[in-house]
Amino acid sequence: MEYTFLKIEQHDQIAVMKVSAPKSLNALNSTVLKEIDDFVSNLDTKQTRVLIITGDGEKAFVAGADISEMVHLYEKEGYEFSKLGAIAFRKIETLPIPVIAAVNGFCLGGGCELAMACDFRYASSKAKFGQPEVGLGITPGFSGTYRLAKLVGQGYAKEMIYTGKAIRADEALRIGLVNAVYEPEELMDKVMETAQKMVANAPLAIAYAKQCINESYDLIADDAIELENTAFGKCFATEDQKEGMTAFLEKRPAKFVGK
Ligand code: CAA
């Protein structure tokens, strides 16, 4: 599929997906959401070991869902628009590879929700985060009420959502919405550096660890622990476990093949 609103770059085993809608600060209309869904659904996660999501240009990651499209919607279409984003973002969250958001500017509404569907976020010092939806007469619609509360706790999530206020990158760092803040010109290098470290590790082990962390959140302790026991056991059925441990004992770097 040819994309109108996505720019895709491949750097060996690292893919970069840039949302690119320059006239609207990369706002998410339904075509962008369908393109994201298509890209993520068809991503070859054997070839691509890490996905980085960012915004095109210097000003915005994504400034939210497209208000000029939403202004015309009624209840049924509003529900369907919300579903479209939610399904695409859930696919990002459950990809069997790490997904890092490189938040390079405005990260508002649906943009913040896109960033939160990633495994973690690094931000430029110029980034601004917020869920301004109630100021437009709507709730967050791409799973922001769920993921923001999960990430920063209900207190901060409710404060951000009820006030609609935008917070700076240093505040986002303080409340745990982002893992690190860098100067704008350093951001991509730092994200790439982290991605490279992940590429060097065993991909199936990362996929199992991601699944355990994602799924255990909604489980009771005994089920979450059992999930990890099972994943740990499955690692011992992989070539990468033999290679990783043999390489350690032979004092050489491991070469993982993802089997
Ligand atoms: N939807 C549609 N167009 C948008 C947009 C959005 N979310 N955000 C920005 N734009 C457009 C502006 O309308 C403007 O277009 P024109 O040049 O044609 O006038 C262009 O992008 C540049 O924006 P500004 O001139 O406003 O730039 P600024 O620097 O003065 O302000 C901003 C930047 C603070 C991000 C401001 O654009 C803004 O507040 N944007 C809207 C943010 C927002 O409310 N996001 C949440 C949307 S609702 C949502 O996301 C629902 C959901 O959860 C699914």
Average pLDDT of span 25-45:
98
Query: Residue 37 falls within a domain, yes or no?
Result: yes
Asked if pLDDT for residue 187 goes beyond 90, the answer is yes
164 and 231, same domain (yes or no): no
pLDDT digits (tens, 9 = 90+) for 125-164: 999 999 999 999 999 999 999 999 999 999 999 999 999 9
Pocket of ligand 1 (CB under 6 A): 24-25, 27, 63-68, 85, 106, 108-110, 113, 132-133, 136, 140-142, 144
Average pLDDT over residues 112-136: 98
Whether 223 and 190 share a structural domain: no
Integer Rg of the chain from CA: 19
| Reported confidence tier of residue 252, pLDDT bands at 50, 70, 90 | very high
The single residue of 2, 69, 77, 133 carrying the catalytic annotation is: 133
Name the nearest CA neighbour of 26 among 147, 115, 155, 137. 115
Task: Tell me: do 26 and 67 sit in the same domain.
Answer: yes
In a domain, 256, yes or no: no
Whether 1 is in a domain gets the answer: no
Catalytic-residue membership of 133: yes
Verify that 110 and 45 share a domain, yes or no: yes
Same domain, 193 and 209: no
Range of the domain at 209: 203-249
Residue 74 has pLDDT above 90, yes or no: yes
Could you tell me which of 112, 36, 19, 27 has the C-alpha nearest to residue 66?
27
Q: Are strands 106-108 and 128-130 parallel, antiparallel or unpaired?
A: parallel
Q: Which residue, by CA, sits nearest to atom 29 of ligand 1?
A: 59
Task: Please give the Cα distance from 94 to 175 (Å, whole number).
Answer: 24
Tell me if 159 is assigned to some domain: yes
Residue with CA nearest ligand 1 atom 40: 63
The answer to whether 147 touches 176, Cβ cutoff 8 Å, is no
Instruction: Tell me the average pLDDT across 43-71.
Output: 97
Mean pLDDT of 4-16: 97
Write the pLDDT tens digit of every residue in 154-166.
999 999 999 999 9
Are both 177 and 224 inside the same structural domain? no
Instruction: Assess if residue 254 is contained within a domain.
Output: no
Can you spell out the DSSP letters for 103-121? Answer: E-SEEETHHHHHHHHSSEE
**Is 259 within a domain?**
no
| Residue 113 known to be catalytic | yes
Which atom belonging to ligand 1 lies closest to the Cα atom of 106?
Answer: 35
Same domain, 168 and 234: no
Average pLDDT, the chain: 97
> In percent, how much of the chain has pLDDT > 70?
100
Q: Domain tally for the chain?
A: 2
- Give per-residue pLDDT as tens, 176-186: 999 999 999 99
Q: Is the same domain home to 108 and 160?
A: yes
pLDDT of residue 175: 98
| Whether 24 and 146 share a structural domain | yes
Mean pLDDT of 92-112: 98
| Count of C-beta atoms within a 10 Å radius of residue 218 | 9
Mean pLDDT value across residues 45-57: 97
Same domain, 133 and 225: no
The answer to whether position 87 is within a domain reads: yes
Instruction: Tell me the pTM.
Output: 0.97
Amino acid 218: pLDDT: 87
- DSSP string for 138-198: ----SSHHHHHHHHH-HHHHHHHHHH---EEHHHHHHTTS-SEEE-TTTHHHHHHHHHHHH
Instruction: Report if residue 39 sits inside a domain.
Output: yes
Residues 42 and 124 placed together within one structural domain of the fold: yes
Which pair of structure tokens corresponds to residue 237? 């059925």
Q: Can you give the CATH number for the domain in which 48 is found?
A: 3.90.226.10
Q: Are residues 186 and 216 in the same domain?
A: no
At residue 1, the pLDDT reads 79
CATH number where 231 lies: 1.10.12.10
pLDDT tens figures, 203-248: 999 999 999 999 998 899 999 999 999 999 999 999 999 999 999 9
